[in-house]
Amino acid sequence: IHRCFKGGEWMKDPRVKMFDWDQEWNISFAGCGFRSIYHLGALSCILERVPRLVHGASKICGASSGCLVAAALTVGIPMGEFIVFARKHTLGVFHPTFSLLRAVQDILLEKLPADAHLRASGKLCVSLTRLSDRQNVLVSEFDSREELIQALLCSCFFPVYCGFIPPSYHGVHYMDGALSNNLPLFEQRNTITVAPFSGESDICPREGTFNFFEVHYGNVSIQVNTGNVHRICTSFLPPGPEVGGGGVSLRRWSLNMFFF
């Protein structure tokens, strides 16, 4: 059963509830490595069924790979291309010549429009984890295109996996935003949360049976089941060419539960 707004009212059918279009709302995408392809599928369904839900959002938030999806949505760039780049290497991200962070930077430099920081300011919310004290920092204002790129790179830097020297933003070193807050603005009642792990997020996969056991990581609810174990392990691996049809069906089913 999905919630639309955490503060909304349930109708008689527990799967259906009222959506107040007069209130402001946010959309928050959880960091999930290469599992962010789930976000892209969910977005395609939302834009097909209820585009106003995306275009009318007050803030579009994200951590780690989720912030790339949020940025792509905010400024209009195809972020799925960094997965295509990874597939060009025989061993994907484990190939010695492959640098995930450099690949992301190359895509951002190539695809971000000159006024990307103007489009993103006040709309995009990026989650960062400050290296010195592991505290979370949310960034929503960007003075230049370069500053926006640095914020996105900092949010995507997963220690060791992406390297050993974290990037900096305004002279301060940051790392993966998912390590401190994987669903920015989660605490606000009008934030719609999207995650590729079955749990209590508003839009997420659903397992066949109910599970009472769950863990919370960076504000993301993750049920303890074999499906999520597989999803977490494969978050660090680029999806193969076979990913598509079945995954799209699952995302459509998730959206049907959310809206209907």
Q: What pLDDT was estimated at residue 109?
A: 92
Helices (H) and strands (E) counted in the chain, each on its own, are 9, 9
For residues 49-62, average pLDDT: 93
For residues 205-230, average pLDDT: 85
Q: Are 127 and 180 in contact (CB under 8 A)?
A: yes
Q: What pLDDT was estimated at residue 88?
A: 54
Distance in angstroms (rounded) separating the CA atoms of residues 144 and 165: 23
Residue of higher predicted confidence among 226 and 17: 226
CB environment 61-95: b (16+ within 10 A), e (fewer): bbbbbbbbbbbbbbbebebebbbebbeeeeebbee
Please, which residues have CB within 8 angstroms of residue 187's CB and are 6 or more apart in sequence?
A: 219
Residue of higher predicted confidence among 122 and 161: 122
Q: What pLDDT was estimated at residue 235?
A: 85
Kindly state the DSSP code that residue 178 receives in the 8-state scheme. G
Residue of higher predicted confidence among 53 and 3: 53
Percent of the chain with pLDDT over 70: 74
Distance in angstroms (rounded) separating the CA atoms of residues 206 and 254: 7
Q: What pLDDT was estimated at residue 77?
A: 74
Q: What pLDDT was estimated at residue 210?
A: 64
The per-residue pLDDT for range 69-124, each reduced to its tens digit, is 999 999 987 655 555 555 554 445 555 555 778 888 988 998 899 999 999 999 99
Question: For residue 82, what are the CA distances in angstroms to 34, 86, 93, 108, 250?
Answer: 10, 6, 11, 10, 23
Residue of higher predicted confidence among 139 and 19: 139
Q: What is the widest separation between alpha-carbon atoms in the chain?
A: 57
What angle is formed at CA 53 by the lines to CA 51 and CA 55, rounded to 5 degrees?
65
Q: Are 43 and 73 in contact (CB under 8 A)?
A: yes
Percent of the chain with pLDDT over 90: 48
Q: What pLDDT was estimated at residue 245?
A: 42
Please, which residues have CB within 8 angstroms of residue 202's CB and are 6 or more apart in sequence?
A: 2, 3, 4, 192, 193, 194, 258
Nearest of 191, 252, 204 to residue 60 by alpha carbon: 191
Distance in angstroms (rounded) separating the CA atoms of residues 210 and 206: 9
Residue of higher predicted confidence among 242 and 201: 201
Q: What pLDDT was estimated at residue 90?
A: 42
Q: Which of 28, 36, 64, 155 is catalytic?
A: 64
Q: What pLDDT was estimated at residue 33?
A: 87
Q: Which of 28, 127, 176, 235 is catalytic?
A: 176
Q: Which of 70-74, 181-185, 232-236 has the lowest mean pLDDT?
A: 232-236
List the structure tokens of 213.
Answer: 């056991």
64 has catalytic annotation: yes
Chain centre to alpha carbon of residue 147: 20
List the structure tokens of 184.
Answer: 């920015």
Distance in angstroms (rounded) separating the CA atoms of residues 83 and 72: 14
133 has catalytic annotation: no
Q: What pLDDT was estimated at residue 98?
A: 57
Is the pLDDT reported for residue 244 higher than 70?
no
Band of the pLDDT at 136, cuts 50, 70, 90? very high
